[in-house]
Amino acid sequence: MRRTPTLLAVPVLALGLALAGCSSAGSAAPADTTTSSAAVTSDAMASTVLQGTFAGEGGKAVSGTVTITGDTVTLAGFATEEGPDLHFYLANGTDEQAVSAGVRIAAVSTEAAQTFTLPAGVSADDYTDLVVHCDKAKAVFGAAALTR
């Protein structure tokens, strides 16, 4: 005698097929994960790490270190003389002309440890210095030459 599927059998059959699909996707997941990990590792390795040590300019005192990895800027032991309207600039040099041609990336904080993100589309690889600049007085307080 032949049995016809009941309404209950259809959802059970669909669930079985769905689980079978999940298990084949599950077996593919480790390969995808490995590929993703390799891609992330490659991206991390492709990100240039730039470092520098701040020095004062024009009689101003600026100290500390900077590390730039990808678009993340990390300052440690940072200190600067107070000034109105201080900002960090990525520039190719430390004179006024270089700062004007550079990119303002963040306001200066009095915190010794700071982390901030570069603006979208800005690559630190295109610049040689991280400059502490007083926009109001048009004066460079100090800078860190960036090296690989």
Angle, CA of 51, 74 and 147, to the nearest 5°: 10
CA within 13 Å, CB half, 114: 19
Q: Which of 57, 62, 44, 67 is nearest to 114 (CA)?
A: 67
- CA 115 to CA 137: how far, in whole Å? 25
- CA 107 to CA 91: how far, in whole Å? 15
Q: What's the pLDDT at 15?
A: 36
Mean pLDDT, consecutive 10-residue stretches, the chain (148 aa), reads: 48 39 36 37 59 97 98 98 96 98 96 96 97 97 97
Q: What's the pLDDT at 30?
A: 37
Q: What's the pLDDT at 48?
A: 75
Rg, the chain, Cα only: 27
Q: What's the pLDDT at 19?
A: 33
